[in-house]
Amino acid sequence: MEEKSVLEKIAEANRPVTTGIDGRGIENWVTIYIMGRAYKVPADLTIMQAMEFAGYRFIRSCGCRAGFCGACATIYRKEGDYKLKGVLACQTRVEDGMYLVQIPFAPAEKATYDIDKESYNGAALLKYYPEIARCVSCNTCTKACPQDLKVMEYINAAVRGDFETVVEESFDCIQCGLCAIRCPAEIVHYNLAQLARRMYGKYGLVEEKNVKKRVEEIEGGKYEKEFKKVMGLSPDELKEVYVDQQKTREVY
């Protein structure tokens, strides 16, 4: 038999990830419950991979598969445990005895506003999301967050009109909705935070001078002549310019 090429070897090593797992040769298994039904699945998989192994082909509750989009919000409870936990299916390893349900999105209100017409103060946050004033400080949202954000803190900061804290504490929010479906005050934390961040980005920061100047220069036609010149260069001349330019490289 001919020896396998490098690329064939790579394809073979990746087959479980690229085509689905065949289950042979796997030593460690766990049992999970999807829609109440028990499935035996390999222990080294994420919840998402395990559901696929069990025979599911996702048409919802699956997006980036990498922890960035919030599509795979999943709640589960373990056998014998009273706690209901919220996680991202693509970023959580299966555990024995998980009872799972997925929530492709949380039905939620989003305020409609014209960002150009808002005045930059906390009143705007309360105007669009008055329910934040009803927070009972139970901290459920914080415990529900799969990104480990201090959700209650940013809600409290929003009530105070402290934009900076909202931005800081909510920046890594992937808008999965797990906080909102648990909140007794029915607050939609992630939409509120989105409004606060946009207001801060627009009004709370100084105008960046370099970009403003460069846009003016480009619109004023400053680079036209030079563009004409470089676009007229022969392939060899262009290569030379490129090689010289790479020598002036800024690294760290």
Q: Which does 223 bind (CB under 5 to 8 A by kind): another protein, ligand FES, ligand SF4, none?
A: another protein
To the nearest 10°, report the CA torsion of 94, 95, 101, 106.
Answer: -70
Partners of 75 in the β-ladder: 86, 101
Looking at 41, 48, 71, 173, which residue binds ligand SF4 (CB under 6 A)? 173
SS3 label, residue 126: helix
Which C-beta is closer to ligand FES: that of 65 or that of 143? 65
Q: Give all strands (DSSP E) within the chain, no chain letters.
A: 29-34, 37-42, 73-78, 85-88, 98-102
Of 76-84, 130-138, 180-188, 219-227: span binding another protein (CB under 8 A)? 219-227
Q: Give CA–CA dist 129/226, Å, rounded.
A: 51
Which C-beta is closer to another protein: that of 39 or that of 187? 39
Tell me which residue of 16, 38, 41, 15 sits closest to 28, measured CA to CA: 41
145 binds ligand SF4 (CB under 6 A): yes
Looking at 1, 2, 3, 7, which residue binds another protein (CB under 8 A)? 7
183 binds ligand SF4 (CB under 6 A): yes
Of 73-81, 91-99, 134-142, 177-185: span binding another protein (CB under 8 A)? 91-99
Distance of CA 246 to the CA centre of its chain: 35
Tokens of 110: 């989003």
Residues near ligand SF4 (CB under 6 A):
70, 135-141, 144-145, 147, 149, 151-152, 155, 173-179, 183-185, 187, 189-190
